[in-house]
């Protein structure tokens, strides 16, 4: 029997649900979800968003497992969830994902459903194997409603105690977080956080397995982005390009429309940290469409040379800053807010989307919450639980978006 059926988010017309996986002697093959005793769907995962509901209405949900022999488990404990009222929370059509719809790359920019360039601003999780407890209904409500974030980067480490140790568990957690971001009207940036070893080809087969399932399950959503190689390092751009050109067709077989972000060499520095520069990418681009290239910077470590590279590259290729910090490259040490602001000014002028590292209570200065915040479940809103970097980046995410619709 599935256990711990729970709600991970609600809107006026939808309820997002998750549950713990069942076990079976011949293998669980899927689950059947019921609403008020009537079957809603079957799914192979452990999360689902039920749509088409009525505002301010209570619904009772149960879930059953089935195995390879055709056996069906007992029903889980019933869960009662009420949808939000039409008059409460965020009005329909006003969330970042609702306004902009499915994104696409147009020229060197990221464009919304109206073909207009947009800039997304948001936060990255820390590694799910370490700080998953910082991603709760309360914290993500605050990220969407108090911080006014447009995007949540879901950082799935491959090594370092991450995906490779338990692919099923970590994939299910990513499914759940995609649903939680979706329920709050944010974009979900799925980050394949390969770091050590630095050659992404080491994890190519794992990446194919992971992204096939993610793309197949969520391809109908219009609020996704795929980040397929976090920080390639110690490897040539040609090796990174080869990896991307092998993985992208696998994703496209399931999801032909979601933008795909490709990490650049030199720890996502467009090659600068490897003694190279952006011309490697410009002169030998990935042979695929609807893609962007990623750039990472840490303001206290990465000075004018890196800023100039971002300036030059963003005029030639589509760039998304999928990670940055106001401190040193370790994510720790003193903040350099002045240099960080120079980057943000350039990114605002060019409409380069960005995500800050990181939405956790890690002891380093780059984690936005003070140590212990996640363990006590907040407080999540306001600034009392925030470190200086958290206060600074929250202020910059909260400034009004400019999402043209016509």
- The pLDDT score that the predictor gives to residue 92 is 44
- For residue 29, pLDDT over 50 is answered with yes
Task: Supply 393's token pair.
Answer: 């980046």
Task: Supply 315's token pair.
Answer: 């005029």
Residue 97 main-chain phi, psi, to 5 deg: -70, -35
Query: Which residues, other chains included, contact 276 with Cβ-Cβ below 8 Å and sequence gap of 6+?
Result: 237, 265, 266
If one compares 391 and 55, the residue with the highest pLDDT of the two is 391
- For residue 222, pLDDT over 50 is answered with yes
- The pLDDT score that the predictor gives to residue 26 is 84
Mean pLDDT score of the chain: 93
Contact 110, 103 (CB under 8 A): yes
pTM: 0.79
- The pLDDT score that the predictor gives to residue 87 is 47
Put the strands of the sheet holding 15-20 in their side by side order.
Answer: 3-10, 15-20, 47-50
- The pLDDT score that the predictor gives to residue 86 is 58
pLDDT tens digit sequence for 287-327 = 999 999 999 999 999 999 999 999 999 999 999 999 999 99
Q: HSE, CB side, 13 Å, CA atoms: give it for residue 164.
A: 16
- For residue 11, pLDDT over 80 is answered with no
- For residue 347, pLDDT over 50 is answered with yes
- The pLDDT score that the predictor gives to residue 81 is 85
If one compares 9 and 20, the residue with the highest pLDDT of the two is 20
pLDDT tens digit sequence for 81-123 = 888 765 444 444 579 999 999 999 999 999 999 999 999 999 9
pLDDT tens digit sequence for 178-197 = 999 999 999 999 999 999 99
**Cβ atoms within 10 Å, residue 93:** 9
Positions annotated as catalytic residues are: 231, 323
Distance CA 406, CA 399 (A): 21
């Amino acid at each position: 029997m599935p256990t711990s059926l729970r709600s991970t988010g609600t809107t006026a017309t939808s309820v997002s649900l998750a549950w713990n996986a069942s076990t079976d002697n011949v293998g669980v093959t899927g689950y059947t979800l019921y609403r008020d005793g009537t079957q809603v769907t079957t799914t192979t995962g452990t999360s689902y968003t039920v749509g088409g509901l009525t505002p301010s209405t209570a619904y009772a949900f149960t879930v059953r497992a089935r195995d390879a022999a055709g056996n069906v488990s007992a029903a889980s404990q019933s869960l009662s969830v009420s949808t939000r009222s039409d008059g409460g929370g965020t009005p329909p059509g006003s969330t970042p994902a609702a306004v902009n719809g499915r994104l696409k790359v147009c020229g060197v920019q990221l464009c919304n459903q109206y073909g207009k360039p947009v800039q997304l601003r948001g936060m990255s999780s820390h590694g799910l194997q370490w700080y998953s407890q910082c991603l709760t209904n309360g914290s993500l409500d605050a990220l969407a409603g108090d911080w006014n974030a447009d995007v949540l980067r879901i950082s799935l480490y491959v090594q370092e105690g991450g995906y490779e140790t338990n692919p099923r568990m970590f994939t299910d957690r990513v499914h759940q977080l995609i649903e939680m971001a979706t329920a709050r009207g944010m974009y979900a940036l799925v980050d394949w956080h390969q770091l050590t070893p630095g050659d992404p080809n080491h994890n190519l087969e794992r990446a194919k397995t992971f992204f096939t399932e993610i793309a197949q399950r969520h391809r109908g959503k219009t609020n996704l982005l795929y980040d397929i190689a976090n920080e390639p390092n110690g490897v040539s751009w040609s090796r990174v390009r080869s990896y991307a050109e092998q993985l992208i067709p696998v994703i496209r077989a399931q999801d032909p429309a979601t933008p795909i972000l490709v990490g650049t060499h030199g720890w996502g520095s467009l090659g600068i940290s490897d003694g190279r520069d952006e011309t490697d990418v410009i002169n030998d681009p990935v042979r695929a469409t609807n893609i962007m290239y990623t750039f990472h910077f840490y303001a206290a470590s990465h000075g004018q040379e890196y800023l100039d590279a971002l300036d030059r590259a963003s005029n030639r290729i589509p760039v998304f800053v999928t990670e940055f910090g106001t401190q040193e490259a370790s994510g720790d040490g003193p903040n350099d807010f002045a240099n960080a602001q120079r980057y943000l000014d350039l990114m605002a002028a060019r409409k380069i989307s960005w995500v800050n590292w990181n939405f956790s209570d890690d002891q380093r200065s780059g984690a936005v919450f003070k140590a212990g915040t996640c363990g006590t479940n907040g407080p999540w809103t306001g600034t009392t639980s925030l470190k200086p970097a958290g206060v600074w980046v929250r202020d910059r995410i909260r400034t009004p978006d400019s999402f043209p619709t016509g």
